[in-house]
C-alpha cells in the first residue's frame, strides 16, 4: 500500500468561549468542543458513502470501514489511500482492485451516514443484516484483566478527557494489557479506526479482544466478527439483535462491564473468573 498522507489541518477539537453557570453564578471560560466533519469515502474515484466523523486517523477509518463492510478482505488489497481537505469536508480516496470496486455497487451505500449510524445507506435487509463468517478465536480472557483494561480505557481517552463527547474502542491482548486505542464522536467510527490501525500493523485479530465505551449494538458486534475478534466488552448494554448475532457468529459478548461487575451474554467459555 502506498504511503499514507499526513494528518490534515482539521483538529479533533476546538477551543470556544462559553458561558458556564453554576446555580445563580456565571463565568466566561474557554471550553474544548469535539469536532465532527463530513468524510466522503471514494473508491477508484467513485463516492461510496459520506460519514460524519472526528477528522483524525482517517486512513485508519477508511481501511477499517473497508474491511468491516466487506469491500476488501485484507489490508493489502488497498493500493493507496489519499486524504484531501475540501471547503465542505474531507475526501478519502482509496485505490482498490477493479473487481472489488465493481462489487461495491451491490453493497447498498451511496448515502449519508449520520454520526451514530452504522447501517445508513443499506437498501435491503440483506445488505443491512450481513452475516459475518464464524469466529474461530480461541482467546482466553481473565475477568480481572478485562476490568483493568476498561480502567485503562477510561484513563487513556485523551480527546474525551478534553471534550467529554467522544467514544473509544481499544485493543487488548491477554497478559499485555491495552495496546491500541482510537476515539471518535461515532462509536462505529471509533471501532473502524481501531480495526484499520490494527490491520495496518498486521495484528492477529483472534489473539486479542476489543473493549468499547458505548453500548453493544448489532453493528459493533458485526464489525468485530467480520475480522475474527473473539470477545467484545462494552461498558453499556447490548441490544437483542447484537446478542443474537454474537451467539450465531461465535463471539463472546460482555455488557455492563464497569468496575468489578459485568454481564456475559454469549459464549462465556472465553472469559475466566477467579
- Active site residues per annotation: 117
CA distance 115 to 40: 13
Q: Which residues pair with 32 in a beta bridge?
A: 15
The DSSP annotation for 71-120 comes to S-SSGGG--EEEEEE-SSSEEEEEE--HHHHHHHTTS---SEE-TT-SST
The H or E element that residue 188 is part of is helix 187-200
The DSSP annotation for 198-232 comes to HHHTT--GGGSEEEESS-B-HHHHHHHHHTT--EE
For residue 138, what is its C-alpha cell?
Answer: 480461541
Radius of gyration of the chain (CA): 19
Distances (CA, A) of 163 to 36, 52, 236: 12, 17, 20
Q: Count of CB atoms within 10 A of residue 6's CB?
A: 7
Distance of CA 40 to the CA centre of its chain: 17
The set of residues, in sequence order, having a beta carbon less than 8 Å from that of 15 and lying 6+ positions away, is 30, 31, 32, 33
Coil, helix or strand for 177?
A: strand
Amino acid at each position: 500500500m502506498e504511503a499514507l498522507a499526513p494528518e490534515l489541518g482539521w483538529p479533533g477539537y476546538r477551543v470556544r468561549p462559553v458561558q458556564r453557570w453554576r446555580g445563580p453564578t456565571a463565568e466566561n471560560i474557554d471550553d474544548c468542543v469535539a469536532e465532527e466533519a463530513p468524510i466522503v469515502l471514494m473508491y477508484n474515484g467513485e463516492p461510496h458513502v459520506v460519514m460524519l466523523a472526528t477528522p483524525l486517523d482517517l486512513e485508519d477509518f477508511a481501511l477499517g470501514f473497508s474491511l468491516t463492510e466487506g469491500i476488501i478482505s485484507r489490508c493489502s488489497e488497498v493500493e493507496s489511500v489519499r486524504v484531501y481537505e475540501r471547503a465542505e469536508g474531507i475526501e478519502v480516496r482509496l485505490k482498490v482492485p477493479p473487481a472489488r470496486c465493481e462489487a461495491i455497487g451491490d453493497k447498498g451505500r451511496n448515502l449519508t451516514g449520520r454520526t451514530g449510524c452504522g447501517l445508513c445507506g443499506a437498501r435491503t435487509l440483506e445488505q443491512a443484516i450481513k452475516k459475518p463468517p464464524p469466529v474461530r478465536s480461541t482467546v482466553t480472557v481473565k475477568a480481572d484483566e478485562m476490568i483493568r483494561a476498561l480502567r485503562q480505557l477510561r484513563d487513556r481517552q485523551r480527546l474525551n478527557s478534553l471534550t467529554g463527547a467522544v467514544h473509544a474502542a481499544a485493543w487488548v491482548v491477554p497478559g499485555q494489557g491495552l495496546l491500541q486505542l482510537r476515539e471518535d464522536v461515532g462509536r462505529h467510527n471509533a471501532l473502524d479506526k481501531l480495526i484499520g490501525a490494527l490491520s495496518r500493523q498486521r495484528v492477529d485479530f483472534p489473539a486479542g479482544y476489543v473493549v468499547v465505551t458505548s453500548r453493544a449494538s448489532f453493528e459493533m458486534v458485526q464489525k468485530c466478527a467480520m475480522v475474527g475478534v473473539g470477545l467484545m466488552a462494552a461498558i453499556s448494554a447490548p441490544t437483542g439483535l447484537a446478542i443474537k448475532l454474537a451467539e450465531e457468529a461465535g463471539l463472546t459478548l460482555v455488557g455492563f462491564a464497569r468496575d468489578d461487575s459485568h454481564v456475559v451474554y454469549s459464549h462465556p467459555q472465553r472469559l475466566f473468573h477467579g
